Amino acid sequence: MSKQGKGGGAAGKAKKPAKAGADEKGEDVLQAVILADSFQDKFKPFTLETPRCLLPLVNVPVIEYTLEFLASNGVQEVFIYCGAHSENIERYIHESTRWSPASAISPFSSLEFIRVSDAHSIGDFLRDLDKRGIITGDFVLVHGDLVSNIQLDAALAKHRARREANRDACMTVVLRSVGDQPHRAAKARGITPVFVVDPATGRCLQYEEMHPLQSEHYLDLDPAVFSHGEFEIRTDLVDCGIDICTPDVLALWSESFDYELPRKNFLHGVLKDWELNGKLLYAEILDEGYAARASNLQMYDCISRDVLERWTLPFVPDSNLIHGQTYKRVKGGNYVEDHALAERGAKVTRSVVGRGTTIKAGSVISGSSIGRRCKIGKDVRIENSHIWDDAVIGDGASVVHSVLAGSVVVGAHCRIPEGSLISYNVHIDSGIQMPSKPPARISVLTDDGQLAPTDTSLVGPGGTGALYEVAADEEESDDEDGANRDPAILQSSLIYSLEGLNISTSSISTLASEQDDYDTDNDNISLAGSVQAGDYFGSHARDRLSSFASDESASKPDGDFHNDAVNGLVDALRADDSTDFDSAKLEFMGLRLANNASDSAMRRAIAVAFVRRAAELMRPEHGGLELTKAVAEALTSKHGAVKFIKEVGVGGDGVAQQAEFALAVQRALLGELKELEVGRAGALLAALLQQLYNRDVLEEEGILAWWADKRVGEGEKMDALREKCRVLVEWLENADEEESSEEEEEDNEHDEDE
Amino acid sequence: MAPSQASHVPSLDNLIKSFNSQSLEASIESLIFLLKRRQVKGDECAKATAHILRQVVAKSKWRDVDELLSRVQSVGSRLVRSAPLEPVIGNVVRRVLGLIRDEANEDRNADDIGSEAASDIQSLTPSTTPQPPRPRPTPIRPSPSVLSSGLTVSKSMFNLLSVKAPSESPVTGASTPLSQAQPASVHALRSEVMDGIEEILDEINQADDQIAGFSDIQIHPGDYVLAYQPSRTVERFLVKAASKRRFTVIIASLESPSPGSSELSYAALRKKLNAAGVNTINLASNGLMAYIPRVNKVIFSAKAVYQNGGLLVDSGSCVAAQAAREYLKPVIVLCPVYKFCPEDPSDEVSRGELGSPGSYVSYANGSAVDALDVENTVTDYIPPDLVDVYLTNL
């Protein structure tokens, strides 16, 4: 904090040019980047109105903890990347007396917001950051939901020493060990990060993620790990997303345009490709200090308790870090702000009570945080709950282990059972019992931000609000990090505990369907790598097995191949200047040889490329062609494309190969579901198959074999896609009624289009 | 807070260095947050407060004494509120306020004389200010009547102390003539007050050494001295005594699971004492009672001494004091004068400040964290009847 305020800012700026020259030594100013959007929706329905980093955690918006953490580590320049609700975050910061960039008392010499209009992942943020070139030296990368009191100076010093010794030591991941009897923070995280670390140097050798729902309970070590001599495999670490990075890290992000997540994609990938990029990543494992991310509701709950128990010291209520807070610790382990009134006879223990809140006689409150200006009636029971500002709770109500957002009104004698989430402005009429299994999520808004029609059977005749449901499809399109999807179920739908879901059959079926998406959504994981245990063909058995054996490790080259191949093909299809497909074909075959890609990988790449092109042509910005025209355009605009599909994509005349290709097309469409709704995707599939049939790429037997394949109907969405082709198949089966059926088919498609 | 190797981490030293480069308000705010984040604590608080008040006097714009007083008061109360369990801050603020009033009083007396005999003031003002900074003499002196009307109210120290409202009206009424007259006296007052604060700082810095000067009176050859969690003050005291006497020091400390820095500093103390030929014995605080019968006296330092003689101390000292009382051993408390508070201990003080439970339960021990409700008090209150000797620097 040697330079602050306006004078400091000016001094910092004057220094910059000189410092850029002596970049390696540029340590005067510590920069930090806050990622204030996680592209997840684990806090819905609350995040429909408020960004995650402004949700109050023990009556303090989460981002305050993050900013204070940075300030306490002497960070001077802060860049905040906002995604959803960016204007709310900006307004909040600008109105804050402490953090506003215009404020003379801000501990940061500069604080900037960076908006990226088309970001869909954290990776997009960081690639954007690389382009801007505002990072001059080492910087700290954190998430906007971090709560930590760690002092980074030791880690920073080590990082610097390593970087000076070796330019390739570009990143230090700060981790907190939590021992073998994991603390609730470790239990709540869903995903268990697995770090393979060299204990002597702290170098990170491999990174994997495990979660309780995965089918494979094995972890495959990269053989290269063994060449390092001693190493530790650690699962006892809480990864709170604090990274100390050099600008090289951003360059790495830019090089790999498909990385989305800092851990699962980036850390894993960079370590995996160590021999290519030569970068060394280190882990700094701390045994003291507190660090956790309020990354899901369970963590939110857990951190709240930790704050109350003062693990996060000095970030505890009675430090009053926010301007205008006046918390004091009083008897019973409570933190009470001025002008909070608990009537005689009310019993409050281990709780936080904000200003202007009144608690009437006979109420029992324990382990909860209660915001400002709340009104709590007589004989209310509140346990381990989070009640935000301006909530009203009627006489005799009981609230157990739930979250009640701002301005919620709970009528008298209501019962809110464990795990309920009641979002902003919901009114619940008197005497209502909320369902306990599954716990209710009630919001006045629907997922797309519209006002939801009040469900009076749920909230009573005088209430407002309806059950908040995440439509399955919506979740697909919103959820940007498909990779996180499986454990995300653990973290979002199950609010407070892991029990129950693990053993219930429903979770297993969800898993199966999610698994499918996982394959196709995630371009860097090959299909072969995670194909379901279906019957495959002799020639592919070998590589399927090998992929299984080494899981993602071996499939990584395939992933690269897939991306390169798909992009190459799509580019060739898009190209306006040539009508020839031969060069693309040549390039594709070259890629195939270079990567030793399997037939299935090729098939998948080709299917994805054509589907993508067809889907693209249907979008308004690319001409908005109608379905059949789009398909025809995709297939025939380039000479030789159809032939290419026939020869390379299908790869033979066998019925089996044709069926496989059809399946690949279907899966590819599944991957495009982000852009298309299911019905349209199904129609597209039918059109594609039909036109391929018309062009003799697929034969009747092939399509029928595909139809009969049991993998085709696996999972809800696959099935939905399949259903759309029923007409086509029936038409094939009754080939003599060709003409009329075709028209019918066309009509159908048009109907879908509308 | 040890001086940090990494320049990034905010600390008092960094803050003091940055005084020149940043605005006053920013400095105050950063100190407040250093206090809130406990990055400045204990003995550093007094020093930090004096430094920041010196900046307030030097940098803020004030036209007369009242304005300066209210400025210092408001900054002071913000500091006090940000660290309610560091009463030293309040003490230093009070000292500075008193200093300003004293200086102002002197000036006014001088003014009174000056209004009667203008020649006197010219000779007097330079003598009171160490370096006379252009004491612009009287050409535009206000008329005696205006001056005295401004003075009658603000002359009394007690008025300055609390009541601000009445003092405002005469001052505003007299603002035109006063504002012309002020530069000289303001300037003089400013430098006087700053010198005064400098003296307070010196006093704070020298207090430990001054107390250590009494060590040979208190520690006798052959003594067994129990030093409970020796602070810097106690360390100096013991080391000074070791240069003259042969005795044995029993260093008791909390058995902390992660020794870290505190362990290191005691190691340095042991080294110094051993070098001077003084034996040291290390003791975990739970072994305290076993050693108490052998001990001749118990020494620790206080964070603050209240009006009733009660002490605010680091946690654990109370046990030592009680044990000593049980065996009728004298308890010597080292406390510089600036730690004497003219107030009674608040509820919060008697309950003690809570630290992180991390020093008793490892965060890694998940089941314990879940099952236990750990309250780790880091301060204790010692009632006055447990203390035998208060040793100050005067």
Q: Which of B18, B356, B375 sits opposite A1 (nearest CB)?
A: B18
Peptide bond into A314 cis (omega under 30): yes
**Interchain CB contacts (distance < 8 Å): A and B:** 154
Question: What pLDDT is recorded for position A70?
Answer: 92
Work out the number of other CB atoms within 10 angstroms of the CB of residue B19: 17
Tell whether A615 and A687 lie within a shared domain.
Answer: yes
% of chain A residues with pLDDT over 70: 77
In a domain, B1, yes or no: no
Q: Find the residue in A nearest to B35 (Cα).
A: A319
Between A753 and A511, where is the model more confident?
A753
Question: What pLDDT is recorded for position A185?
Answer: 59
CB contact B377 to A (< 8 Å) = no
Tell whether A564 and A663 lie within a shared domain.
Answer: yes
In a domain, B374, yes or no: yes
Contact map slice: B 126-185 vs A, CB within 8 A? none
Question: What pLDDT is recorded for position B99?
Answer: 92
Which own/partner pairs from A649-653 qualify as long-range (CB within 8 Å, at least 24 positions apart)?
Answer: A649/A602, A649/A603, A649/A606, A649/A607, A649/A697, A650/A603, A650/A697, A650/A698, A650/A702, A651/A599, A651/A602, A651/A603, A653/A699
In a domain, A725, yes or no: yes
In a domain, B321, yes or no: yes
Q: How far is B30 from chain A (nearest CA, A)?
A: 7
Question: What pLDDT is recorded for position A693?
Answer: 82
Question: What pLDDT is recorded for position A490?
Answer: 54
In a domain, B387, yes or no: yes
- Checking if the pLDDT of A495 tops 60, the result is no
The whole-number average pLDDT for the span A80-90 is 86
Which of A204-208, A579-583, B111-115 is modeled with the greatest confidence? A204-208
The whole-number average pLDDT for the span A520-538 is 35
Rounded-to-integer distance, Cα A539 and Cα A530, Å: 17
Tell whether B20 and B155 lie within a shared domain.
Answer: yes
| Binary contact (B36, A320; C-beta < 8 A) | yes
CB contact B370 to A (< 8 Å) = yes
Two structure tokens written together for A337: 């702000």
Between A500 and A175, where is the model more confident?
A175
Rounded-to-integer distance, Cα A676 and Cα B133, Å: 80
Question: What pLDDT is recorded for position A478?
Answer: 36
Question: What pLDDT is recorded for position B359?
Answer: 76
| Binary contact (A71, B39; C-beta < 8 A) | no
CB contact A72 to B (< 8 Å) = yes
Tell whether B201 and B262 lie within a shared domain.
Answer: no
Rounded alpha-carbon distances, angstroms, from residue A607 to A604, A612, A648, A662, A715? 5, 8, 11, 8, 20
Q: How far is A103 from chain B (nearest CA, A)?
A: 9
| A427 dihedral zone (left: phi>0; alpha: psi -120 to 50; beta) | beta
Tell whether B88 and B221 lie within a shared domain.
Answer: no
Longest dimension (CA), chain B: 81
Of A350, A355, A357, nearest to A325 by C-alpha is A355
In a domain, A391, yes or no: yes
Two structure tokens written together for B268: 């340095």
Contact map slice: B 231-270 vs A, CB within 8 A? 258
pLDDT in tens, A290-332: 888 888 888 888 888 888 888 888 888 888 888 888 898 888 8
In a domain, A47, yes or no: yes
Tell whether A290 and A335 lie within a shared domain.
Answer: no
Lowest-confidence pick of A56-70, A500-514, B149-163, B326-340: A500-514
Tell whether A175 and A290 lie within a shared domain.
Answer: yes
Q: Report helix, strand and coil shares of chain B as percent, to nearest 5.
A: 60, 10, 30
Query: Pick from B210, B225, B248: which residue ends a domain?
Result: B210
CB contact B272 to A (< 8 Å) = no
Query: Pick from B210, B238, B267: which residue ends a domain?
Result: B210
Contact map slice: B 83-102 vs A, CB within 8 A? 84
In this structure, are strands A204-210 and A192-197 parallel, antiparallel, or unpaired?
antiparallel
Q: Which residues of B touch A107 (CB under 8 A)?
A: 10, 29-30, 33
Q: Which residues of A touch B374 (CB under 8 A)?
A: 309
Which of A260-264, A295-299, A409-413, B58-62 is modeled with the greatest confidence? A409-413
Tell whether A96 and A214 lie within a shared domain.
Answer: yes
The whole-number average pLDDT for the span A377-388 is 92
pLDDT in tens, A95-106: 888 888 888 888
Q: What is the CATH number of the domain that holds A199?
A: 3.90.550.10
Tell whether B196 and B221 lie within a shared domain.
Answer: no
Two structure tokens written together for B96: 């500075």
Tell whether B42 and B143 lie within a shared domain.
Answer: yes
Peptide bond into A487 cis (omega under 30): no
Specify the 3-state DSSP secondary structure of B227. Answer: strand
| Binary contact (A157, B36; C-beta < 8 A) | no
The whole-number average pLDDT for the span A86-98 is 88
Question: What pLDDT is recorded for position B183?
Answer: 59
Tell whether B261 and B119 lie within a shared domain.
Answer: no
Question: Following DSSP, what letter does each residue of A289-350 receive, concatenated?
Answer: S-EEE--SHHHHHHHHHHHHTTTTTTSSGGG--STT---EEEGGGEEE-TT-EE-TT-EEES
Tell whether A287 and A380 lie within a shared domain.
Answer: no
Tell whether B191 and B218 lie within a shared domain.
Answer: no
Rounded-to-integer distance, Cα A343 and Cα A336, Å: 13
* Residue type at position A114: I
Q: Which of B1, B4, B5, B9 to mutate to test the interface with A (most CBs of A within 10 A)?
A: B9
In a domain, A65, yes or no: yes
In a domain, A704, yes or no: yes
Lowest-confidence pick of A337-351, A451-465, A528-542, A559-573: A528-542
The whole-number average pLDDT for the span A109-113 is 88
Tell whether A341 and A442 lie within a shared domain.
Answer: yes
Tell whether A385 and A527 lie within a shared domain.
Answer: no
Query: Pick from B182, B210, B238: which residue ends a domain?
Result: B210
Tell whether B267 and B380 lie within a shared domain.
Answer: yes
Longest dimension (CA), chain A: 87
Tell whether A387 and A259 lie within a shared domain.
Answer: no
Q: What is the CATH number of the domain that holds B278?
A: 3.40.50.10470
CB contact B363 to A (< 8 Å) = yes
Tell whether B200 and B227 lie within a shared domain.
Answer: no
| A426 dihedral zone (left: phi>0; alpha: psi -120 to 50; beta) | beta
Q: Find residue A364's DSSP bridge partners.
A: A347, A381
ipTM of the complex as predicted = 0.77
Distant-in-sequence, close-in-space partners of A526: CB < 8 Å, separation ≥ 6: A547, A555, A558, A559, A562, A601, A604
Two structure tokens written together for A715: 């999972």
CB contact B327 to A (< 8 Å) = no
In total, chain B counts a number of residues equal to 394
Question: What pLDDT is recorded for position A97?
Answer: 84
Between B375 and A528, where is the model more confident?
B375
Tell whether B205 and B218 lie within a shared domain.
Answer: no
Between A288 and A749, where is the model more confident?
A288
Rounded-to-integer distance, Cα A278 and Cα A274, Å: 5
Rounded-to-integer distance, Cα A740 and Cα A731, Å: 9
Rounded-to-integer distance, Cα B48 and Cα B322, Å: 33
Q: For residue B154, what are the domain limits?
A: 12-210
Rounded-to-integer distance, Cα A238 and Cα A263, Å: 13
Q: What is the CATH number of the domain that holds A439?
A: 2.160.10.10
Contact B24, B55 (CB under 8 A): yes
In this structure, are strands B224-228 and A232-234 parallel, antiparallel, or unpaired?
unpaired
Tell whether B271 and B326 lie within a shared domain.
Answer: yes
- Checking if the pLDDT of A623 tops 50, the result is yes
Work out the number of other CB atoms within 10 angstroms of the CB of residue A22: 9
- Environment class of A161 (CB within 10 Å of its CB; exposed 0-12, middle 13-18, buried 19+): exposed
The whole-number average pLDDT for the span A396-413 is 90
| Binary contact (B8, A74; C-beta < 8 A) | yes
Distant-in-sequence, close-in-space partners of B346: CB < 8 Å, separation ≥ 6: B84
Q: Find residue A445's DSSP bridge partners.
A: A451
Query: Pick from A427, A446, A467: which residue ends a domain?
Result: A467
Of A367, A440, A125, nearest to A259 by C-alpha is A125
In a domain, B2, yes or no: no
Rounded-to-integer distance, Cα B70 and Cα A14, Å: 37
In a domain, B5, yes or no: no
Question: What pLDDT is recorded for position A376?
Answer: 93
Tell whether B147 and B220 lie within a shared domain.
Answer: no
Q: Which of A4, A72, A183 sits opposite B363 (nearest CB)?
A: A183
Task: Domain count for chain A, please give it.
Answer: 3
pLDDT in tens, B261-299: 445 557 888 888 889 888 888 887 777 888 889 899 999
In a domain, B378, yes or no: yes
| B387 dihedral zone (left: phi>0; alpha: psi -120 to 50; beta) | beta
Tell whether A338 and A291 lie within a shared domain.
Answer: no
Specify the 3-state DSSP secondary structure of A73. Answer: coil
Contact A499, A419 (CB under 8 A): no
Tell whether A277 and A347 lie within a shared domain.
Answer: no
Distant-in-sequence, close-in-space partners of A370: CB < 8 Å, separation ≥ 6: A59, A351, A352, A353, A354, A357, A376, A382, A387, A391
Task: Domain count for chain B, please give it.
Answer: 2
Lowest-confidence pick of A30-44, A142-156, A180-194, A431-445: A180-194
Q: Find the residue in A nearest to B257 (Cα).
A: A288
Regions of chain B short of the pLDDT cut 70: 1-8, 111-184, 254-265
In a domain, B4, yes or no: no
Rounded-to-integer distance, Cα A398 and Cα A343, Å: 18
Q: For residue A457, what are the domain limits?
A: 326-467
The whole-number average pLDDT for the span A283-294 is 86
Which of A30-44, A137-151, A219-233, A259-273 is modeled with the greatest confidence? A137-151
The whole-number average pLDDT for the span A650-657 is 74
Rounded-to-integer distance, Cα A195 and Cα A204, Å: 7
Q: How far is B207 from chain A (nearest CA, A)?
A: 28
Two structure tokens written together for A131: 């382009």
Contact A104, A6 (CB under 8 A): yes
Burial code (b: 16+ CB inside 10 Å, e: under 16) for A194-205 equals bbbbbeeebbbb
Q: Which of B16, B21, B28 to mutate to test the interface with A (most CBs of A within 10 A)?
A: B21
Per DSSP (E only), the strands in chain B are: 224-228, 248-253, 279-284, 297-301, 304-305, 311-314, 331-334, 379-382, 389-391
Tell whether A463 and A549 lie within a shared domain.
Answer: no
Question: What pLDDT is recorded for position A184?
Answer: 65
